[in-house]
Structure 1
Amino acid sequence: MKSQLLNVCLASFCLIGTAFSFQWPSNIQQCKAADETCIPQALTQLFRHADEIPDLKIPKMEPFVWNKEAVLRTRNPNAPINIVIRNSNTTIYGLKAMEITQVKGFGPDPRKTKFEIKSTVPFLVSVSNYKSTMNLFALPITTEGISNTTITNMEIRQNIDVDVIQKNGKDYIKIKNVRVHIKLNKFSVDFKSKTGNPAINDTINKAINENWREIYAELKQDLEKSIADVIKALISPIFENMPYQEFFLQ
Protein backbone atom coordinates (compact mmCIF):
# COMPACT_ATOMS: atom_id res chain seq x y z
CA MET A 1 0.00 0.00 0.00
CA LYS A 2 2.78 2.42 0.94
CA SER A 3 4.61 1.48 -2.25
CA GLN A 4 1.53 2.24 -4.38
CA LEU A 5 1.03 5.56 -2.60
CA LEU A 6 4.67 6.47 -3.20
CA ASN A 7 4.33 5.66 -6.90
CA VAL A 8 1.21 7.83 -7.17
CA CYS A 9 2.99 10.73 -5.45
CA LEU A 10 6.02 10.40 -7.71
CA ALA A 11 3.82 10.27 -10.79
CA SER A 12 1.93 13.38 -9.64
CA PHE A 13 5.21 15.21 -9.02
CA CYS A 14 6.39 14.36 -12.53
CA LEU A 15 3.13 15.59 -14.03
CA ILE A 16 3.41 18.86 -12.14
CA GLY A 17 6.99 19.29 -13.27
CA THR A 18 6.21 18.67 -16.92
CA ALA A 19 3.12 20.90 -16.84
CA PHE A 20 5.28 23.94 -16.16
CA SER A 21 8.07 22.97 -18.57
CA PHE A 22 8.11 25.42 -21.46
CA GLN A 23 8.46 24.06 -24.98
CA TRP A 24 9.99 26.46 -27.50
CA PRO A 25 7.54 27.02 -30.42
CA SER A 26 8.60 24.99 -33.47
CA ASN A 27 7.64 27.80 -35.89
CA ILE A 28 9.96 30.37 -34.26
CA GLN A 29 13.73 30.30 -34.65
CA GLN A 30 15.61 29.82 -31.39
CA CYS A 31 18.84 31.76 -30.95
CA LYS A 32 22.11 31.39 -29.12
CA ALA A 33 22.77 33.72 -26.20
CA ALA A 34 24.17 37.13 -27.22
CA ASP A 35 23.23 36.58 -30.89
CA GLU A 36 22.25 40.18 -31.64
CA THR A 37 21.13 39.30 -35.17
CA CYS A 38 18.85 36.39 -34.34
CA ILE A 39 17.32 37.54 -31.03
CA PRO A 40 15.42 40.57 -32.48
CA GLN A 41 13.74 38.28 -35.01
CA ALA A 42 12.82 35.73 -32.33
CA LEU A 43 11.35 38.38 -30.01
CA THR A 44 9.35 39.89 -32.87
CA GLN A 45 7.87 36.50 -33.70
CA LEU A 46 7.10 35.70 -30.06
CA PHE A 47 5.02 38.87 -29.83
CA ARG A 48 3.30 38.35 -33.18
CA HIS A 49 2.39 34.76 -32.30
CA ALA A 50 1.67 35.44 -28.62
CA ASP A 51 -1.93 34.22 -28.87
CA GLU A 52 -0.59 30.84 -30.05
CA ILE A 53 1.74 30.49 -27.01
CA PRO A 54 -0.56 30.57 -23.96
CA ASP A 55 2.20 29.23 -21.65
CA LEU A 56 4.02 32.58 -21.88
CA LYS A 57 0.92 34.50 -20.73
CA ILE A 58 1.74 37.50 -22.92
CA PRO A 59 -1.27 39.87 -22.85
CA LYS A 60 -3.45 40.03 -25.94
CA MET A 61 -1.75 42.51 -28.25
CA GLU A 62 -4.44 43.36 -30.79
CA PRO A 63 -6.06 45.25 -29.35
CA PHE A 64 -4.07 45.74 -26.16
CA VAL A 65 -6.26 46.77 -23.21
CA TRP A 66 -4.62 48.91 -20.53
CA ASN A 67 -6.56 49.84 -17.41
CA LYS A 68 -3.82 51.79 -15.63
CA GLU A 69 -4.39 55.55 -15.51
CA ALA A 70 -1.88 57.65 -17.44
CA VAL A 71 -1.37 61.34 -16.73
CA LEU A 72 0.14 63.58 -19.42
CA ARG A 73 0.98 67.19 -18.62
CA THR A 74 2.83 70.08 -20.19
CA ARG A 75 5.47 71.67 -17.98
CA ASN A 76 5.97 75.21 -19.23
CA PRO A 77 3.53 77.48 -17.34
CA ASN A 78 4.25 80.34 -19.74
CA ALA A 79 3.38 78.39 -22.88
CA PRO A 80 0.23 79.50 -24.77
CA ILE A 81 -1.19 75.98 -24.44
CA ASN A 82 -1.06 74.17 -21.09
CA ILE A 83 -2.67 70.76 -20.67
CA VAL A 84 -3.21 68.09 -18.03
CA ILE A 85 -4.82 64.93 -19.44
CA ARG A 86 -5.86 61.89 -17.41
CA ASN A 87 -6.41 58.83 -19.60
CA SER A 88 -8.08 55.64 -18.36
CA ASN A 89 -9.61 52.46 -19.82
CA THR A 90 -7.24 52.63 -22.77
CA THR A 91 -7.37 50.39 -25.83
CA ILE A 92 -4.29 50.37 -28.06
CA TYR A 93 -4.23 49.26 -31.70
CA GLY A 94 -1.09 48.54 -33.72
CA LEU A 95 1.21 46.88 -31.16
CA LYS A 96 1.13 43.54 -32.96
CA ALA A 97 2.95 45.19 -35.88
CA MET A 98 5.84 46.11 -33.57
CA GLU A 99 9.20 44.92 -34.89
CA ILE A 100 12.26 44.40 -32.70
CA THR A 101 15.09 45.76 -34.83
CA GLN A 102 18.08 45.62 -32.48
CA VAL A 103 19.16 44.22 -29.14
CA LYS A 104 22.30 44.55 -27.04
CA GLY A 105 23.35 42.08 -24.37
CA PHE A 106 21.17 39.03 -23.72
CA GLY A 107 24.32 37.11 -22.79
CA PRO A 108 24.37 33.62 -21.25
CA ASP A 109 24.58 34.86 -17.63
CA PRO A 110 21.67 37.19 -16.77
CA ARG A 111 23.63 38.54 -13.79
CA LYS A 112 26.41 39.90 -16.01
CA THR A 113 24.67 41.00 -19.19
CA LYS A 114 22.70 44.09 -20.16
CA PHE A 115 19.26 44.14 -21.76
CA GLU A 116 18.68 46.80 -24.40
CA ILE A 117 16.03 46.65 -27.10
CA LYS A 118 15.21 48.88 -30.04
CA SER A 119 11.83 48.48 -31.71
CA THR A 120 9.64 50.25 -34.24
CA VAL A 121 5.86 50.62 -34.45
CA PRO A 122 4.63 51.97 -37.82
CA PHE A 123 1.17 53.08 -36.69
CA LEU A 124 -0.31 53.22 -33.20
CA VAL A 125 -3.79 54.32 -32.15
CA SER A 126 -4.75 54.78 -28.50
CA VAL A 127 -8.40 55.26 -27.52
CA SER A 128 -9.10 56.32 -23.92
CA ASN A 129 -11.59 57.86 -21.58
CA TYR A 130 -10.12 61.21 -20.67
CA LYS A 131 -10.51 64.11 -18.29
CA SER A 132 -8.61 67.27 -19.17
CA THR A 133 -7.93 70.70 -17.79
CA MET A 134 -6.16 73.14 -20.06
CA ASN A 135 -5.35 76.74 -20.59
CA LEU A 136 -5.75 77.49 -24.28
CA PHE A 137 -4.42 80.94 -25.16
CA ALA A 138 -5.47 82.22 -21.71
CA LEU A 139 -8.89 80.53 -21.94
CA PRO A 140 -9.36 77.93 -19.13
CA ILE A 141 -11.20 74.81 -20.33
CA THR A 142 -12.24 71.60 -18.56
CA THR A 143 -13.54 68.69 -20.63
CA GLU A 144 -14.00 64.93 -20.50
CA GLY A 145 -14.96 62.29 -23.02
CA ILE A 146 -13.16 59.99 -25.46
CA SER A 147 -9.67 60.76 -26.77
CA ASN A 148 -8.08 59.24 -29.85
CA THR A 149 -4.30 59.61 -30.10
CA THR A 150 -2.48 58.56 -33.27
CA ILE A 151 1.30 58.08 -33.49
CA THR A 152 3.11 57.23 -36.71
CA ASN A 153 6.56 55.68 -37.24
CA MET A 154 7.56 55.44 -33.59
CA GLU A 155 11.02 54.22 -32.62
CA ILE A 156 11.39 52.94 -29.06
CA ARG A 157 14.71 52.40 -27.28
CA GLN A 158 14.40 50.40 -24.07
CA ASN A 159 16.90 49.88 -21.27
CA ILE A 160 15.74 47.12 -18.97
CA ASP A 161 16.80 46.54 -15.36
CA VAL A 162 16.25 43.03 -14.02
CA ASP A 163 16.47 40.83 -10.94
CA VAL A 164 17.47 37.17 -11.27
CA ILE A 165 15.31 34.74 -9.33
CA GLN A 166 16.03 31.04 -8.93
CA LYS A 167 13.19 28.53 -9.04
CA ASN A 168 13.85 24.78 -9.01
CA GLY A 169 17.51 25.45 -9.69
CA LYS A 170 16.81 27.57 -12.81
CA ASP A 171 17.24 31.30 -13.43
CA TYR A 172 14.18 33.41 -14.13
CA ILE A 173 14.20 37.11 -14.96
CA LYS A 174 12.00 39.60 -13.13
CA ILE A 175 11.76 42.97 -14.85
CA LYS A 176 12.39 45.72 -12.28
CA ASN A 177 12.28 48.78 -14.47
CA VAL A 178 12.03 49.79 -18.12
CA ARG A 179 13.44 53.13 -19.26
CA VAL A 180 12.23 54.29 -22.65
CA HIS A 181 13.31 56.90 -25.18
CA ILE A 182 11.05 57.47 -28.19
CA LYS A 183 11.21 59.21 -31.54
CA LEU A 184 8.22 59.61 -33.84
CA ASN A 185 7.20 61.21 -37.10
CA LYS A 186 3.75 62.49 -36.15
CA PHE A 187 1.53 62.87 -33.12
CA SER A 188 -2.13 63.86 -33.38
CA VAL A 189 -5.17 63.85 -31.10
CA ASP A 190 -8.92 63.91 -31.49
CA PHE A 191 -10.84 64.80 -28.33
CA LYS A 192 -14.56 64.04 -28.39
CA SER A 193 -15.94 65.85 -25.37
CA LYS A 194 -19.17 64.70 -23.74
CA THR A 195 -19.62 68.16 -22.27
CA GLY A 196 -19.23 71.70 -23.46
CA ASN A 197 -19.60 73.51 -26.75
CA PRO A 198 -18.73 71.41 -29.87
CA ALA A 199 -17.12 74.49 -31.40
CA ILE A 200 -14.72 74.73 -28.43
CA ASN A 201 -13.95 71.02 -28.85
CA ASP A 202 -13.00 71.62 -32.49
CA THR A 203 -10.87 74.58 -31.45
CA ILE A 204 -8.98 72.44 -28.94
CA ASN A 205 -8.23 69.73 -31.52
CA LYS A 206 -7.16 72.29 -34.10
CA ALA A 207 -4.87 74.15 -31.68
CA ILE A 208 -3.17 70.98 -30.40
CA ASN A 209 -2.69 69.38 -33.82
CA GLU A 210 -1.36 72.58 -35.40
CA ASN A 211 1.17 72.89 -32.56
CA TRP A 212 1.78 69.15 -32.06
CA ARG A 213 5.60 69.34 -32.10
CA GLU A 214 5.76 71.83 -29.24
CA ILE A 215 3.07 70.02 -27.25
CA TYR A 216 4.61 66.58 -27.89
CA ALA A 217 7.95 67.90 -26.60
CA GLU A 218 6.19 68.97 -23.39
CA LEU A 219 4.26 65.69 -23.01
CA LYS A 220 7.15 63.41 -24.04
CA GLN A 221 8.39 62.62 -20.52
CA ASP A 222 4.97 61.37 -19.39
CA LEU A 223 4.32 59.63 -22.71
CA GLU A 224 7.59 57.71 -22.39
CA LYS A 225 6.64 56.66 -18.87
CA SER A 226 3.30 55.33 -20.11
CA ILE A 227 4.94 53.44 -22.97
CA ALA A 228 7.52 51.99 -20.57
CA ASP A 229 4.69 50.61 -18.42
CA VAL A 230 3.11 48.94 -21.47
CA ILE A 231 6.46 47.50 -22.65
CA LYS A 232 7.10 46.10 -19.18
CA ALA A 233 3.69 44.39 -19.20
CA LEU A 234 4.49 42.80 -22.57
CA ILE A 235 8.05 41.68 -21.88
CA SER A 236 7.74 40.48 -18.28
CA PRO A 237 5.73 37.30 -19.00
CA ILE A 238 8.34 35.98 -21.45
CA PHE A 239 11.12 35.82 -18.88
CA GLU A 240 9.00 35.25 -15.77
CA ASN A 241 7.38 32.14 -17.28
CA MET A 242 10.41 30.71 -19.09
CA PRO A 243 13.78 29.81 -17.52
CA TYR A 244 16.29 32.29 -18.90
CA GLN A 245 18.66 29.66 -20.29
CA GLU A 246 15.78 27.91 -22.07
CA PHE A 247 15.20 31.07 -24.09
CA PHE A 248 18.43 30.26 -25.94
CA LEU A 249 19.63 27.45 -28.15
CA GLN A 250 22.09 25.36 -26.15
Structure 2
Amino acid sequence: MRKLLILSMCLQLYIGSECSTLPKKIKKCHFGDATCIRDTANALIRSFPKGIPSVGFKPIDVVHVKDTVLINDRQVGGAWYFFDLLNQINYGFENTTITEIKGFDEDPSLTKIEVKGHLPRLIYRGTYNAQGRLLWLININSSGVSESEFLNFHFDFTLKVQTEYRNNKRYLKIYQLVPNISVDRWIQWLENFFPENTDLTIFINKIFNANWVEFWNELEKPILEVFTGVFLSIIEDIFHNVSYDDMFLSNKYENNDN
Protein backbone atom coordinates (compact mmCIF):
# COMPACT_ATOMS: atom_id res chain seq x y z
CA MET A 1 0.00 0.00 0.00
CA ARG A 2 2.82 2.41 0.87
CA LYS A 3 4.57 1.77 -2.45
CA LEU A 4 1.30 2.28 -4.30
CA LEU A 5 0.74 5.61 -2.51
CA ILE A 6 4.25 6.82 -3.33
CA LEU A 7 3.85 5.76 -6.96
CA SER A 8 0.51 7.58 -7.17
CA MET A 9 1.98 10.80 -5.74
CA CYS A 10 4.94 10.66 -8.11
CA LEU A 11 2.61 10.12 -11.05
CA GLN A 12 0.50 13.14 -10.06
CA LEU A 13 3.59 15.31 -9.76
CA TYR A 14 4.82 14.12 -13.14
CA ILE A 15 1.49 14.76 -14.82
CA GLY A 16 1.24 18.17 -13.19
CA SER A 17 4.69 19.13 -14.42
CA GLU A 18 3.91 18.00 -17.98
CA CYS A 19 0.49 19.68 -18.28
CA SER A 20 1.52 23.31 -17.84
CA THR A 21 1.10 24.33 -21.47
CA LEU A 22 -0.62 27.30 -23.04
CA PRO A 23 -4.08 26.75 -24.58
CA LYS A 24 -4.01 25.65 -28.23
CA LYS A 25 -5.99 28.73 -29.31
CA ILE A 26 -2.99 30.90 -28.37
CA LYS A 27 -0.75 31.10 -31.42
CA LYS A 28 2.87 30.15 -30.85
CA CYS A 29 5.61 32.30 -32.35
CA HIS A 30 9.19 31.68 -33.34
CA PHE A 31 11.85 32.92 -30.93
CA GLY A 32 12.54 36.61 -31.48
CA ASP A 33 9.56 37.25 -33.78
CA ALA A 34 8.59 40.56 -32.18
CA THR A 35 5.45 41.21 -34.23
CA CYS A 36 4.02 37.74 -33.67
CA ILE A 37 4.87 37.78 -29.96
CA ARG A 38 3.18 41.18 -29.54
CA ASP A 39 0.03 39.97 -31.31
CA THR A 40 -0.05 36.76 -29.26
CA ALA A 41 0.34 38.73 -26.03
CA ASN A 42 -2.64 40.91 -27.00
CA ALA A 43 -4.69 37.83 -27.90
CA LEU A 44 -3.87 36.32 -24.50
CA ILE A 45 -5.04 39.49 -22.74
CA ARG A 46 -8.26 39.76 -24.77
CA SER A 47 -9.17 36.07 -24.55
CA PHE A 48 -8.33 35.35 -20.93
CA PRO A 49 -9.01 38.38 -18.69
CA LYS A 50 -9.95 35.93 -15.91
CA GLY A 51 -6.57 34.21 -16.23
CA ILE A 52 -5.55 30.62 -16.93
CA PRO A 53 -5.07 28.90 -13.54
CA SER A 54 -3.48 25.78 -15.04
CA VAL A 55 -0.43 27.74 -16.22
CA GLY A 56 -0.28 30.32 -13.42
CA PHE A 57 -1.72 33.20 -15.47
CA LYS A 58 -3.63 35.17 -12.86
CA PRO A 59 -6.74 37.27 -13.53
CA ILE A 60 -5.89 40.70 -14.93
CA ASP A 61 -9.33 42.26 -14.63
CA VAL A 62 -8.86 42.23 -10.85
CA VAL A 63 -5.27 42.40 -9.58
CA HIS A 64 -4.53 42.38 -5.87
CA VAL A 65 -1.74 44.70 -4.78
CA LYS A 66 0.53 44.30 -1.77
CA ASP A 67 0.17 46.76 1.10
CA THR A 68 2.41 49.75 0.44
CA VAL A 69 3.95 52.53 2.50
CA LEU A 70 4.08 55.61 0.27
CA ILE A 71 5.40 58.12 2.80
CA ASN A 72 7.23 57.44 6.04
CA ASP A 73 8.82 60.57 7.52
CA ARG A 74 10.72 60.58 10.78
CA GLN A 75 8.29 61.55 13.51
CA VAL A 76 10.21 64.60 14.71
CA GLY A 77 9.71 68.34 14.53
CA GLY A 78 6.63 70.27 13.54
CA ALA A 79 5.96 68.55 10.23
CA TRP A 80 6.01 64.85 9.46
CA TYR A 81 3.78 62.45 7.61
CA PHE A 82 3.07 58.73 7.32
CA PHE A 83 0.79 57.28 4.65
CA ASP A 84 0.17 53.70 3.61
CA LEU A 85 -2.27 51.88 1.35
CA LEU A 86 -3.93 48.62 2.38
CA ASN A 87 -6.07 45.96 0.68
CA GLN A 88 -5.57 47.57 -2.69
CA ILE A 89 -7.22 46.10 -5.78
CA ASN A 90 -6.34 47.14 -9.30
CA TYR A 91 -8.93 47.24 -12.10
CA GLY A 92 -8.33 47.79 -15.81
CA PHE A 93 -5.38 45.73 -17.02
CA GLU A 94 -7.75 43.63 -19.16
CA ASN A 95 -7.92 46.67 -21.48
CA THR A 96 -4.16 46.73 -22.02
CA THR A 97 -2.76 46.95 -25.53
CA ILE A 98 0.82 45.79 -25.91
CA THR A 99 2.49 48.04 -28.47
CA GLU A 100 6.00 46.60 -28.61
CA ILE A 101 7.94 43.60 -27.37
CA LYS A 102 11.66 43.02 -27.80
CA GLY A 103 13.75 40.06 -26.76
CA PHE A 104 12.51 36.52 -26.20
CA ASP A 105 15.35 35.27 -28.39
CA GLU A 106 16.43 31.66 -28.45
CA ASP A 107 18.84 32.43 -25.60
CA PRO A 108 16.87 34.96 -23.49
CA SER A 109 19.70 35.48 -21.00
CA LEU A 110 21.84 37.29 -23.59
CA THR A 111 19.49 40.26 -24.13
CA LYS A 112 17.05 42.36 -22.19
CA ILE A 113 13.36 41.68 -22.68
CA GLU A 114 11.38 44.90 -23.21
CA VAL A 115 7.59 45.31 -23.11
CA LYS A 116 5.64 48.48 -23.88
CA GLY A 117 1.91 49.04 -23.59
CA HIS A 118 -0.91 51.34 -22.60
CA LEU A 119 -4.45 51.26 -21.28
CA PRO A 120 -7.09 53.98 -21.16
CA ARG A 121 -7.98 53.80 -17.48
CA LEU A 122 -6.50 52.11 -14.45
CA ILE A 123 -8.21 52.18 -11.05
CA TYR A 124 -6.92 51.40 -7.57
CA ARG A 125 -9.36 50.89 -4.73
CA GLY A 126 -8.68 50.03 -1.11
CA THR A 127 -8.11 51.67 2.23
CA TYR A 128 -5.50 54.04 3.62
CA ASN A 129 -3.98 55.06 6.93
CA ALA A 130 -2.57 58.52 7.51
CA GLN A 131 -0.81 60.03 10.51
CA GLY A 132 1.15 63.21 10.79
CA ARG A 133 1.51 66.78 11.93
CA LEU A 134 1.48 69.94 9.85
CA LEU A 135 3.11 73.15 11.07
CA TRP A 136 2.56 72.30 14.75
CA LEU A 137 -1.13 73.12 14.24
CA ILE A 138 -2.88 70.20 12.60
CA ASN A 139 -2.64 66.60 13.73
CA ILE A 140 -3.60 63.96 11.19
CA ASN A 141 -4.91 60.57 12.27
CA SER A 142 -7.31 59.15 9.74
CA SER A 143 -8.22 56.08 7.73
CA GLY A 144 -10.81 55.28 5.14
CA VAL A 145 -11.53 54.31 1.58
CA SER A 146 -9.04 55.40 -1.06
CA GLU A 147 -9.46 55.46 -4.82
CA SER A 148 -6.98 56.43 -7.50
CA GLU A 149 -7.76 56.74 -11.19
CA PHE A 150 -4.94 56.90 -13.74
CA LEU A 151 -6.02 58.08 -17.19
CA ASN A 152 -4.17 57.13 -20.38
CA PHE A 153 -1.71 54.94 -18.50
CA HIS A 154 1.47 54.15 -20.45
CA PHE A 155 4.08 51.70 -19.25
CA ASP A 156 7.22 49.96 -20.32
CA PHE A 157 9.42 47.59 -18.43
CA THR A 158 12.62 45.68 -19.02
CA LEU A 159 13.33 42.21 -17.75
CA LYS A 160 16.58 40.48 -17.07
CA VAL A 161 16.20 36.75 -16.77
CA GLN A 162 18.19 33.60 -16.23
CA THR A 163 17.28 30.09 -17.24
CA GLU A 164 16.94 27.08 -15.00
CA TYR A 165 16.38 23.48 -16.09
CA ARG A 166 13.52 21.30 -14.93
CA ASN A 167 12.38 18.11 -16.64
CA ASN A 168 15.07 18.73 -19.26
CA LYS A 169 13.40 21.99 -20.27
CA ARG A 170 14.34 25.61 -19.75
CA TYR A 171 12.30 27.87 -17.46
CA LEU A 172 12.76 31.61 -17.01
CA LYS A 173 13.53 33.17 -13.65
CA ILE A 174 13.29 36.95 -13.42
CA TYR A 175 16.06 38.58 -11.42
CA GLN A 176 15.35 42.19 -12.38
CA LEU A 177 12.32 44.15 -13.55
CA VAL A 178 12.63 47.89 -14.14
CA PRO A 179 9.39 49.78 -14.95
CA ASN A 180 8.70 53.23 -16.37
CA ILE A 181 5.25 54.79 -16.17
CA SER A 182 3.51 57.92 -17.43
CA VAL A 183 -0.09 59.10 -17.12
CA ASP A 184 -2.09 61.98 -18.56
CA ARG A 185 -4.03 62.48 -15.33
CA TRP A 186 -4.10 61.16 -11.78
CA ILE A 187 -7.36 61.60 -9.85
CA GLN A 188 -7.53 60.57 -6.21
CA TRP A 189 -10.13 60.57 -3.46
CA LEU A 190 -9.36 59.94 0.21
CA GLU A 191 -12.50 59.48 2.26
CA ASN A 192 -12.66 60.93 5.80
CA PHE A 193 -9.21 62.47 5.65
CA PHE A 194 -10.45 64.84 8.34
CA PRO A 195 -13.16 62.72 9.99
CA GLU A 196 -14.75 65.61 11.87
CA ASN A 197 -14.62 68.13 9.04
CA THR A 198 -16.10 67.10 5.70
CA ASP A 199 -15.42 70.48 4.11
CA LEU A 200 -11.72 70.24 4.94
CA THR A 201 -11.62 66.68 3.56
CA ILE A 202 -13.09 67.94 0.27
CA PHE A 203 -10.66 70.87 0.23
CA ILE A 204 -7.61 68.61 0.71
CA ASN A 205 -8.74 66.30 -2.08
CA LYS A 206 -9.21 69.29 -4.39
CA ILE A 207 -5.71 70.51 -3.54
CA PHE A 208 -4.26 67.11 -4.37
CA ASN A 209 -6.07 66.78 -7.68
CA ALA A 210 -5.19 70.32 -8.74
CA ASN A 211 -1.50 69.65 -8.07
CA TRP A 212 -1.27 65.95 -8.94
CA VAL A 213 1.86 66.37 -11.09
CA GLU A 214 3.87 67.62 -8.11
CA PHE A 215 2.61 64.72 -5.97
CA TRP A 216 3.41 62.25 -8.76
CA ASN A 217 6.97 63.54 -9.03
CA GLU A 218 7.40 63.39 -5.27
CA LEU A 219 6.03 59.84 -4.97
CA GLU A 220 7.43 58.40 -8.20
CA LYS A 221 9.89 56.04 -6.52
CA PRO A 222 7.39 54.22 -4.24
CA ILE A 223 4.81 54.22 -7.06
CA LEU A 224 7.29 52.46 -9.35
CA GLU A 225 7.99 49.94 -6.59
CA VAL A 226 4.26 49.21 -6.43
CA PHE A 227 4.08 48.60 -10.17
CA THR A 228 7.19 46.45 -10.10
CA GLY A 229 5.25 44.13 -7.81
CA VAL A 230 2.12 44.34 -10.00
CA PHE A 231 3.93 43.42 -13.21
CA LEU A 232 5.82 40.61 -11.50
CA SER A 233 2.61 39.19 -10.07
CA ILE A 234 1.11 39.04 -13.57
CA ILE A 235 3.96 37.32 -15.41
CA GLU A 236 6.22 35.59 -12.88
CA ASP A 237 4.07 32.51 -12.32
CA ILE A 238 3.69 31.90 -16.06
CA PHE A 239 7.46 31.73 -16.44
CA HIS A 240 7.64 29.38 -13.49
CA ASN A 241 4.95 27.02 -14.76
CA VAL A 242 5.39 27.01 -18.54
CA SER A 243 8.78 26.13 -19.93
CA TYR A 244 10.41 28.67 -22.22
CA ASP A 245 10.85 25.98 -24.86
CA ASP A 246 7.09 25.25 -24.83
CA MET A 247 6.18 28.93 -25.26
CA PHE A 248 7.83 29.29 -28.65
CA LEU A 249 8.57 27.50 -31.90
CA SER A 250 12.23 26.75 -32.45
CA ASN A 251 13.74 28.58 -35.42
CA LYS A 252 15.30 25.26 -36.39
CA TYR A 253 11.91 24.07 -37.61
CA GLU A 254 11.63 27.09 -39.86
CA ASN A 255 15.05 26.37 -41.31
CA ASN A 256 14.13 22.73 -41.92
CA ASP A 257 11.00 23.78 -43.80
CA ASN A 258 13.16 25.73 -46.19
- TM normalised by structure 2 equals 0.82
CA distances 1:160-194 after superposition (whole Å, capped 9, x unpaired): 12232111211111122311111110001011127
| Distance apart, 1:220 and its partner CA | 1.5
Structure 2 residue matching 1:111: 3-state secondary structure? helix
CA distances 1:19-46 after superposition (whole Å, capped 9, x unpaired): 4223332222211111111112222333
- Judge conservation of contact 1:128–1:148 (CA < 8 Å) in 2: yes
Structure 1 residue matching 2:59: 3-state secondary structure? coil
Q: Given the superposition, is the C-alpha separation of residues 37 and 227 from structure 1 closer, same or farther in structure 2, using an over 3 Å criterion? A: same
Q: Which residue of structure 1 lines up, in the alignment, with residue 90 of structure 2?
A: 92
Q: Which residue of structure 1 lines up, in the alignment, with residue 17 of structure 2?
A: 20
Structure 2 residue matching 1:34: 3-state secondary structure? coil
Amino acid at match of 1:212: W
CA distances 1:144-168 after superposition (whole Å, capped 9, x unpaired): 1110000011111101122321112
Aligned equivalents of 1:235, 1:188: Cα separation in 2? 27
Aligned equivalents of 1:153, 1:241: Cα separation in 2? 32
Q: Which residue of structure 2 lines up, in the alignment, with residue 200 of structure 1?
A: 200
Tell me which moved more, 21-30 or 158-167.
21-30
CA distances 1:58-88 after superposition (whole Å, capped 9, x unpaired): 222222222x21122399xxxxx98642001
- Judge conservation of contact 2:52–2:59 (CA < 8 Å) in 1: no
Q: Which residue of structure 2 lines up, in the alignment, with residue 78 of structure 1?
A: none
Q: Aligned residues: percent identity?
A: 26
Unaligned regions of 5+ residues in structure 1, if any?
Answer: 76-80
Aligned equivalents of 1:25, 1:131: Cα separation in 2? 42
Aligned equivalents of 1:135, 1:247: Cα separation in 2? 53
- Judge conservation of contact 1:110–1:244 (CA < 8 Å) in 2: no
| Distance apart, 1:113 and its partner CA | 2.7
Q: Given the superposition, is the C-alpha separation of residues 134 and 190 from structure 1 closer, same or farther in structure 2, using an over 3 Å criterion? A: farther
Aligned equivalents of 2:177, 2:90: Cα separation in 1? 19
**Paired residues, number:** 238
- TM normalised by structure 1 equals 0.84
1:180-195 matched pairs, under 5 angstroms: 180-193=179-192, 195=195
Q: Which residue of structure 1 lines up, in the alignment, with residue 149 of structure 2?
A: 150
RMSD: 2.8
